[in-house]
Amino acid sequence: MSDRFKELAEEIKSFSVSNDEQLESYRLRFIGRKNIIGDLFAQMRDVPNEEKKAFGQSVNELKNLAQEKFQELINGLNSREAEEEDHPDLTLPPVDNEFGSIHPLTATRQRFIQIFERIGFNVSSGPEIEDDWHNFTALNFPENHPAREMQDTFFIEKNPDIALRTHTSSVQIRVMENEKPPIRTLSPGRVFRNEAISARAHCVFHQMEGLYIDKNVSFADLKQTLYHFVKEMFTKDTKIRFRPSYFPFTEPSAEIDISCQICHGDGCNICKYTGWVEIGGSGMVDPNVLKNCGIDPEEYSGFAFGMGIERITMLRYGIKDLRLFTENDVRFLKQFNSL
């Protein structure tokens, strides 16, 4: 019998493994529920009484040996794996690099900035969580304006009011408070409105607002600047028109329309058969707003405009549903690989 013990001890000691399957076969033979050492324990019954003690001791030793060895084999495999991670096999073929692409909204924002940088605008940013002053009051919003209602705006706190900004005009207030004219700045960023999500509206979208304050800035400057912008952003033959409108912070105010990029004026469902699509709002900065920011309206004047980056992007690429921008569907995003 002692030869059998020796044999098994030898087998355990010399066992080596280089993968999980080999480790498992060791486990089944020496550790698992019906292992070979267990069989020896079962044979105890037939061993003569005077040999029982020595037999039992030997089987126990074998059992301990098997267990120690098992731990050793596990440790060996683990450190081997760690080593392989530290020293990858450099002879293996390379894994393909998957390059992503610029999101269409980012492409439009970048193009926007490029166009305006060339005519002297810089880029400014501000917080997405705004106080009432920067989002509403300084912008000349009357006390009972609907945008100040819970249904239109996401309020974080009431009295004093803290809300998610509804436009990046709030950034323009911050710039005017901190800088002296001349000011030429673009404020891109996320804005939030309490709206139901559909193909044409979302509770989060991106805006690009622009502000120009200097001596003798007139509505002619506003028109010429935006005309230049649409020709650069869309095509050279894009037409622009201004429709009288109302915003609390500009006077006079105008809605900006461009000739439909889809049907080029023939009439389609994007332009609702009018040949024109609205791309944003604009106007001459209201003297009250300048005063609120410590700028003398007798000395300075300026214009401002605001557009939705989503809207511009949809027109640029003929995208029909706003929700595609945030669905993260690679089939949609791949179409912009060349941007």
Shortest CB 231 distance to ligand PHE, Å:
20
Give me the least distance between CB of 192 and ligand PHE, in Å please.
11
Query: Contact between 306 and ligand PHE (CB under 6 A)?
Result: yes
Q: Which is nearer to ligand PHE, 238 or 250 (CB)?
A: 250
188 near ligand PHE, rule: CB under 6 A: no
Q: What one-character-per-residue DSSP string does 83-117 give?
A: HHHHS--TTSPPPPP------HHHHHHHHHHHHHH
Distance CA 63, CA 40 (A): 10
- Scanning residues 150 to 169, which ones bind ligand PHE (CB under 6 A)? 167, 169
Report the candidate in 131, 138, 199 with the shortest Cα–Cα distance to residue 165. 131
Residues 6+ apart with CB under 8 A from 36: 8, 29, 30
Q: Given the rule CB under 6 A, which of 1-9, 82-90, 219-227, 247-255 is the region that contacts ligand PHE?
A: 247-255
Q: How many CB atoms lie within 10 A of CB 249?
A: 24
Least CB distance from residue 169 to ligand PHE, whole Å?
Answer: 4
* Interacting span for ligand PHE (CB under 6 A) from 6-14, 58-66, 281-289, 329-337: 281-289
Q: In terms of CB distance, is 189 or 306 closer to ligand PHE? A: 306
Q: Where are the beta strands (DSSP E) in the chain?
A: 122-123, 129-131, 155-157, 162-164, 183-192, 204-214, 240-247, 250-259, 276-285, 301-308
**Closest approach of ligand PHE to the CB of residue 164, in Å:** 13
Residues of span 166-185 touching ligand PHE by CB under 6 A: 167, 169
Where b means 16+ CB within 10 Å and e means fewer, 210-224 reads: bbbbeeebeeebbbe
Q: Which two tokens stand for residue 303?
A: 């214009």
Q: Does 304 bind ligand PHE (CB under 6 A)?
A: yes
Per-residue b or e along 9-29, where b marks 16 or more CB atoms closer than 10 Å to that residue's CB:
beebeebebeeeeebeebbeb
- Which of 305, 310, 315, 325 binds ligand PHE (CB under 6 A)? It is 305
283 binds ligand PHE (CB under 6 A): yes
Q: Is 205 in the site for ligand PHE (CB under 6 A)?
A: no
Smallest gap, in angstroms, from Cβ of residue 209 to ligand PHE? Answer: 5
Query: Where on the chain is the footprint of ligand PHE (CB under 6 A)?
Result: 167, 169, 209, 247, 250, 253, 281-283, 304-306
